[in-house]
Amino acid sequence: MSGSLFDRWRGGANEDSQALPAVGLQLWLDNHAKVQRLAGPLRSLLALPAQGATRVHDYLARHSLLVLEGEPADWQGLPLDLDFNTLAGNALHTRGWLQRHGQGWLLQLFDIGDLLREQRWDRQRPLFGEIGNALRECGAERLVQTTGEQLQLIAGHWQARSLRLLLREPGGWRHYASSEAQWPWPDDSRLQAWLQQLPGAAPLEVVGQPELQALCGGAALYLVPYRQGRDTEAWLLCADVANLPPADMALALARTVVEPLLARYRRQQLQQQSGQLDDLQQQLGAGWWEWPLGGELQLDPAVAVAFGLEPRMGLEQWLAQLHPADREPAQLALAQAREGHALNLSLRLAQAAPRWLHLAGQRQGNRLRGFALDITALKQQEQQAGAAQARLENLIASSPAVIYVQGYAEGALHGEFFSASLAPLLGWASDSEQARQPGLAVHPDDRPLWVARTRSLLRDGHVRSRYRLCDVHGGYHWMLDEARLLRDDLGQPREVVGLWLDVTDATDAAERMRQSEERYRVLVEDSPAMICRYRPDLTLVFANRPLADYLHCSVVQLEGANLGQWLSEAQREAFVLRLSALTPEQPVSSAEICLQLPGREHAWWIWADRGLFDTGGRLLEIQAVGRDNTEVRRSQQQLLQGAKMATLGELATGLVHEINQPLNVMRMAVANALNRLQNGEVDRAWLQTKLQRIEAQVARAERLVEHMRVYGRRSTVEQQGFAAWAAVEGAAALLEEGLRGKGVSLLLEPPAQQEQVLGHPDQLEQVLINLLVNARDALLEQPRTERWIRVRQVAEGSRLRLLVEDNGGGIDADLHERIFEPFFTTKPAGVGTGLGLSVSHGIVSHMGGRLSVGNSDQGACFCVDLPLYSTS
């Protein structure tokens, strides 16, 4: 409103009332603040006071009463911010001045609701810097979680049901983070296709899209794009935004979130790919090399370090590093490579421990380029295989086996000689038909092997094969056949000398072992569960691959490690105590354990143990199976935190007015003190009283802000002992003034002794806030002159009960069974989520207690029953 209009109002204060502009709200008051007359277009919005009430105070909201302290003469010349009660039930925010008008006073006011809303948007602008700094400064492992937290912060400012961030990836959009675990609608290809068609130039409020809104659970959509050049790189999807932001602010906020996130996300992807490449090269012992013609050999620093070589070497220095037997082949291969031939060379290094290096490459311009690979392990395996083969051949030579000789005639082989072990082994006579033609006794399935064996023998001169031969009893024996062809002076085949070794037992055992190993691998190694064995002192004896992968180490590293190193002290003590309770009669137990993993957040596992005892009942080992429950637990924590922040958001309006109330009192006290000082009326006692009032109001606002900050924090990981009544007092601190403003009395009956329970103080406070808010809503629906909520504590034996009662008439008995179900609510659509009592029921159950409801004579009674906690 322009300054000239203010001047006309102020300048025309002593003129006739008909000359006043017909804007805002005018109230003519006498010297005792009684309302003589109302005028202005805003008067039709006011709620009429009770019969007999005539003062201006009777039109105001309760928190505005302290602004008008004293008589009208004390208000003159001061800017007055007053909230009036309206017929619609909301507050009319006004600002104005009081001026002398004839023998009375004229209070002139105008609506500042739009101004307050603009101020709220201005206060949100520092949020941009906070979000950008949070996304730039957080660790890479917490980037997704931090993004979700910032989306929660934006959702709170916009009063949105949920926010979700989608990033562009090849082929479509990928969900990156949400403000809460449960998004109002599921992923769907139609949603992806619909987003692909949008231009993404400006925020879009979806209206008249019944098919899309049905797909999205009926939620009202507000879509904010982020563009780079001509392409839309990200979408910020908002569901049910109550406080819709201006388009330019929405785009700026999307840019603040996405720009640092995309930079971090893409840099993280590049680092991950680079790290994977480095890890792969390190695991393979591979790296690049380059040799300019006439220059020095240049090696990958990692390869040089791995082999103990210099990264740059001349030809003579390089040859000196090789085994003497490989120096000449290396020179010849390099000379051919310089002429354009491909280089493929395996070399030994002249070191105490044998090391093998494979070089591969080719000429490119005036230099040779390629890669180097550590093949030491491969060569060692070849040597081990050769040694094993030699040992096997020695075993065959020294074992009971059949030595045979086959003669060669006209392209065919026939038996001529068999050792004496033929009869005991197969029961054949040396002159039998089977001995002359062994192919007749080969198992039908193995006859192709016998034919291939004969052909290879005649072609290559030696053969090694395995097949089955039938004995005189009809049984089959697995025979390892190793034969060599002898030739005459002209190179023509003469005879075959060979050996049959019965490997039936070994073959059957190998097959059984293979089947057993396969079953073991399927049951243990391929199991998605984490399986291990450990001693009573938590020293690991065995761990499968999923457990090692989860702990970011190898299976070998886990053997001998102590499982307790990933547990906190309290968790470790509880773990060992649970194991000590195992007995041969009850050898099984299960629990949820919390682990502290390096570089990551806490992890929760569902852990099942089975004790193994000796004949004396002494616990020897524990077999355990675990599964990861971290995502479920985090979802529960996010649900609890979301419910807490939703509660805090619901209370925000009342808390803001409650903070504004001491500010108005302080401003009025300061104004009165300044007036007296200007008039020279300095009364020390009076001035001291005013200053004490200001100090008290400052302390009150400070306590309220501090409690809101503490309540809004996330719960700690581990439970702790605390006084249950402290949670009652915390809930009362947040709600008492708001309840009083709505005509509801909060009656607290503090206990004589502060009993303790085990859990999280902020979560129990959240339960009590939900119960108090539900009781308040039930009372406000009833046409009662007296409304009250009583909270008291009762300790009986080892249990403690917190009782929350009201005089709202009670709850229908048919609803008692369903009242704690998720999403069940009796409130009108759009008012309640139905999660408050469900979340509260889960919190109390997690504390080992029970939340129940009943009806008293005057209303409902909720009972929070918890076990007492003792530190002794």
Q: End of a domain among 628, 660, 688? A: 628
- If asked whether residues 89 and 190 sit together in one domain, one would say no
Rounded CA separation 109/27 (Å): 8
For the chain, state the CA radius of gyration. Answer: 43
Q: What is the pLDDT of residues 500-540, one digit of tens each?
A: 888 888 888 888 877 776 776 666 666 778 888 999 999 99
Specify if 803 maps to a domain: yes
pLDDT of residue 611: 92
* CB distance 707 to 726 below 8 Å: no
What single letter denotes the amino acid at residue 115?
L
Indicate the Cα dihedral angle 240, 242, 243, 249, nearest 10°. Answer: 10
Specify if 642 maps to a domain: no
pLDDT of residue 51: 76
* Strand order through the sheet with 402-409: 412-418, 402-409, 493-502, 476-487, 462-470
What single letter denotes the amino acid at residue 476?
Y
- If asked whether residues 294 and 427 sit together in one domain, one would say no
- If asked whether residues 173 and 195 sit together in one domain, one would say yes
Closest CA to 856 of 788, 808, 815, 821: 808
Is 831 a residue whose pLDDT tops 60?
Answer: no
Q: What is the pLDDT of residues 17-68, one digit of tens each?
A: 444 455 689 999 998 889 989 998 888 888 888 777 788 888 888 878 878 8
Rounded CA separation 636/644 (Å): 12
Local confidence band at 805 (pLDDT 50, 70, 90 cut-offs): very high
Specify if 279 maps to a domain: no
pTM of the full predicted structure?
A: 0.34
Closest CA to 177 of 261, 270, 272: 261
Specify if 522 maps to a domain: no
The pLDDT of 717-746, averaged and rounded, is 82
Tokens 């809930």 — which residue? 731
Q: End of a domain among 350, 380, 410? A: 380
DSSP per-residue string spanning 378-439: HHHHHHHHHHHHHHHHHHHHHSS-EEEEEEEETTEEEEEEE-TTHHHHH---TTSHHHH-GG
* CB distance 408 to 484 below 8 Å: no
What residues contact 585, with CB distance under 8 A and at least 6 apart? none
What single letter denotes the amino acid at residue 82?
L
Least trusted range by pLDDT, from 76-85, 308-317, 642-651, 832-841: 642-651
pLDDT of residue 17: 43
Q: Which residue has the higher pLDDT, 16 or 354?
A: 354
Rounded CA separation 740/437 (Å): 110
Is 426 a residue whose pLDDT tops 50?
Answer: yes
pLDDT of residue 660: 60
Quote the tokens at residue 143: 């980037």
* CB distance 804 to 861 below 8 Å: yes
Beta bridge partners of 497: 405, 484
Quote the tokens at residue 229: 């050049």
What residues contact 756, with CB distance under 8 A and at least 6 apart? 721, 722, 723, 724, 868, 869, 870, 871
Rounded CA separation 430/428 (Å): 6
The pLDDT of 765-789, averaged and rounded, is 85
- If asked whether residues 146 and 242 sit together in one domain, one would say yes
Q: What is the pLDDT of residues 294-347, one digit of tens each?
A: 888 888 887 888 788 888 888 888 888 888 888 888 888 888 888 888 888 888
- Using CB atoms within 10 Å of the CB of residue 179, give its burial: 0 to 12 exposed, 13 to 18 middle, 19+ buried: buried
CATH code, domain with 55: 3.30.450.20
- If asked whether residues 175 and 244 sit together in one domain, one would say yes
pLDDT of residue 443: 92
Tokens 């704690």 — which residue? 820
Local confidence band at 717 (pLDDT 50, 70, 90 cut-offs): low
Q: What is the pLDDT of residues 598-629, one digit of tens each?
A: 666 678 888 899 999 998 889 999 999 888 87
- If asked whether residues 290 and 346 sit together in one domain, one would say yes
CATH code, domain with 782: 3.30.565.10
189 SS3 class: helix
Exposure b/e, 575-584, CB count within 10 A at least 16 = b: beeebeebee
Q: What is the pLDDT of residues 660-703, one digit of tens each?
A: 656 766 777 677 777 777 777 767 777 777 777 676 666 656 65
Specify if 251 maps to a domain: yes
pLDDT of residue 216: 66
Most confident of 115-129, 519-533, 619-633, 809-823: 619-633
CATH code, domain with 216: 3.30.450.40
Specify if 127 maps to a domain: no
* CB distance 97 to 78 below 8 Å: yes
Local confidence band at 186 (pLDDT 50, 70, 90 cut-offs): low
DSSP per-residue string spanning 285-325: TEEEEEEETTS-EEE-HHHHHHHT--SEE-HHHHHHTB-HH
The pLDDT of 574-598, averaged and rounded, is 87
Tell me how many helices (H) and strands (E) the chain has.
25, 33
The structural domain count of the chain equals: 6
Rounded CA separation 786/747 (Å): 13
The pLDDT of 807-821, averaged and rounded, is 78
Closest CA to 120 of 2, 242, 251: 242
pLDDT of residue 444: 92
Local confidence band at 150 (pLDDT 50, 70, 90 cut-offs): confident
Quote the tokens at residue 365: 């311009």
- If asked whether residues 863 and 748 sit together in one domain, one would say yes
What residues contact 194, with CB distance under 8 A and at least 6 apart? 212
- Using CB atoms within 10 Å of the CB of residue 669, give its burial: 0 to 12 exposed, 13 to 18 middle, 19+ buried: buried
- Using CB atoms within 10 Å of the CB of residue 353, give its burial: 0 to 12 exposed, 13 to 18 middle, 19+ buried: exposed
**Do β-strands 744-749 and 787-796 pair in parallel, antiparallel, or remain unpaired?**
parallel
Specify if 145 maps to a domain: yes
Q: What is the pLDDT of residues 59-117, one digit of tens each?
A: 888 878 878 888 888 888 888 888 888 887 778 889 888 888 888 999 999 888 777 76
Local confidence band at 183 (pLDDT 50, 70, 90 cut-offs): low
In the chain, % of residues over pLDDT 90? 11
- If asked whether residues 222 and 153 sit together in one domain, one would say yes
Question: Of all helices (H) and strands (E), which one includes residue 853?
Answer: strand 850-855
pLDDT of residue 42: 87
In the chain, % of residues over pLDDT 70? 80
Q: Which residue has the higher pLDDT, 833 or 47?
A: 47
**Please, what is the average pLDDT of the chain?**
80
Specify if 657 maps to a domain: no
Local confidence band at 397 (pLDDT 50, 70, 90 cut-offs): very low
- If asked whether residues 262 and 291 sit together in one domain, one would say no
pLDDT of residue 729: 87
pLDDT of residue 650: 57
Is 638 a residue whose pLDDT tops 80?
Answer: no
- If asked whether residues 491 and 543 sit together in one domain, one would say no
Domain coverage including residue 12: 3-111
pLDDT of residue 629: 78
Is 143 a residue whose pLDDT tops 80?
Answer: yes
In eight-state DSSP terms, residue 849 is: -
Q: End of a domain among 326, 352, 380? A: 380
Closest CA to 810 of 767, 776, 778, 771: 778
- If asked whether residues 501 and 532 sit together in one domain, one would say no
* CB distance 620 to 613 below 8 Å: yes
CA distances from 233 to 135, 155, 266 (A): 17, 21, 12
- If asked whether residues 427 and 449 sit together in one domain, one would say yes
pLDDT of residue 570: 82
Closest CA to 357 of 411, 304, 399: 304
